Amino acid sequence: MGTRDEARRPLTAKERRQRELRRKRRRKKKMIRLAVLISGAILAIALIIFIVYMAVKLVGGRVSKEEPIKPKGDTFVIMLDAGHGGADIGLSSGELAEKNASIDIVEKLKVMLESNGYEVVLTRADDTRLSKEERVQAVKDSQADLLVSVHLNYSEDENASGIETYYRKGSDQSKLLADKVVAAVAAETEAKDGGSHVGAFTIINDVEIPAVLVEVGYASNAREAGSLTDDSYQNLTAKGIAKGIIRSLDLGEEDK
């Protein structure tokens, strides 16, 4: 009886403090273990994200630095496509007609590329209307190394402006070409760089070579529409496209 009575006796203040201290120590140890586990999990996730990021960067970065467009033969054959033609005027604004602006720029671009030693082939050399299928077939028959199609843009927002390029999804060399062209044209013309985007256009999606569609300005923007009828501005646009094309090519030792 004495032992049971002794066990039931109230704890002294000292004993209560000691018991509370032991509980705090046990709680602290649990918190430390939990913190270590969480920190380890965070570090593991961060490491996985870093590895994935570096892998994507390695694969993505390789295109522009190590995989420029290579020629099939001794020299590059470049296909140029002037949008619309004939009864198909395309977009228009005042004196601007898309079919005329596109072929004017293409003709200037042809001269610039040929002066640099490249062979140039056109889908149309005059005011002729070609179907989408005929354009694609012309590209395939040409055995060209790359294709650039020239068009105008349009927006309900009359203030929208700038240069944009479009490329085929999954084609790294097409994206490289699109990136180089849009940057070079924007630099030459001082127009807004609208960037490069995946496009759903037949002329770039139904061919197997690197291909881009360049929208050289907005017909819906009065200022740009006026510029696109100006011979000097067309020259700057063609010069920018030429620079972008050349910068995307594998020129061997000349490119290093």
CATH code (residue 102): 3.40.630.40
Domain termination site, one of 14, 41, 66:
66
Question: 146 lies in a domain?
Answer: yes
Element (H, E) at 212: strand 211-218
Who's near 14: CB < 8 A, 6+ residues apart?
A: none
* Co-location of 217 and 91 in the same domain: yes
Q: Is the pLDDT of residue 255 over 50?
A: no
In terms of pLDDT, which residue wins out, 9 or 106? Answer: 106
* Co-location of 42 and 93 in the same domain: no
At 89, list the tokens.
Answer: 């005027």
Give the pTM.
Answer: 0.74
Q: Looking at 36-45, 103-112, 114-123, 204-213, which range is the least confident one? A: 36-45
Find the mean pLDDT for residues 142-169: 98
Find the mean pLDDT for residues 185-209: 97
* Co-location of 53 and 84 in the same domain: no
At 22, list the tokens.
Answer: 């032991």
* Co-location of 103 and 163 in the same domain: yes
Domain termination site, one of 38, 66, 94:
66
* Burial environment of residue 198 by CB neighbours within 10 A (0 to 12, 13 to 18, 19 or more): middle
In terms of pLDDT, which residue wins out, 51 or 102? Answer: 102
Question: 71 lies in a domain?
Answer: no
List the one residue out of 201, 240, 247 whose CA is nearest residue 105.
240
List the one residue out of 190, 217, 83, 235 whose CA is nearest residue 147.
83
List the one residue out of 243, 207, 241 whose CA is nearest residue 82.
241
* Co-location of 57 and 172 in the same domain: no
Find the mean pLDDT for residues 206-235: 98
* Co-location of 82 and 170 in the same domain: yes
**How many residues comprise the chain?**
256
Question: 162 lies in a domain?
Answer: yes
Find the mean pLDDT for residues 20-35: 80
Question: 11 lies in a domain?
Answer: yes
List the one residue out of 138, 4, 17, 142 whose CA is nearest residue 73.
142
Domain termination site, one of 13, 37, 66:
66
* Co-location of 129 and 204 in the same domain: yes
- Which domain range does residue 20 map to? 1-66
Distance (Å, rounded) from C-alpha 23 to C-alpha 60? Answer: 55
Question: 256 lies in a domain?
Answer: no
Q: Is the pLDDT of residue 62 over 50?
A: no
* Co-location of 88 and 60 in the same domain: no
Q: Is the pLDDT of residue 38 over 50?
A: yes
What is the amino acid identity at position 132? K
Distance (Å, rounded) from C-alpha 231 to C-alpha 223? Answer: 15
* Co-location of 88 and 51 in the same domain: no
The three-state secondary structure class of 149 is: strand
Distance (Å, rounded) from C-alpha 219 to C-alpha 151? Answer: 10
What is the amino acid identity at position 221? N
* Co-location of 84 and 37 in the same domain: no
Work out how many domains the chain is built from and give that number.
2
Q: Residue 27, Cβ neighbours under 10 Å: how many?
A: 10
Element (H, E) at 60: helix 13-66
pLDDT at 3: 52
Question: 246 lies in a domain?
Answer: yes
Find the mean pLDDT for residues 169-198: 98
Question: 156 lies in a domain?
Answer: yes
Find the mean pLDDT for residues 159-175: 97
Question: 23 lies in a domain?
Answer: yes
Q: Is the pLDDT of residue 64 over 90?
A: no
* Co-location of 90 and 5 in the same domain: no
* Co-location of 62 and 128 in the same domain: no
Element (H, E) at 17: helix 13-66
Q: Is the pLDDT of residue 69 over 60?
A: yes
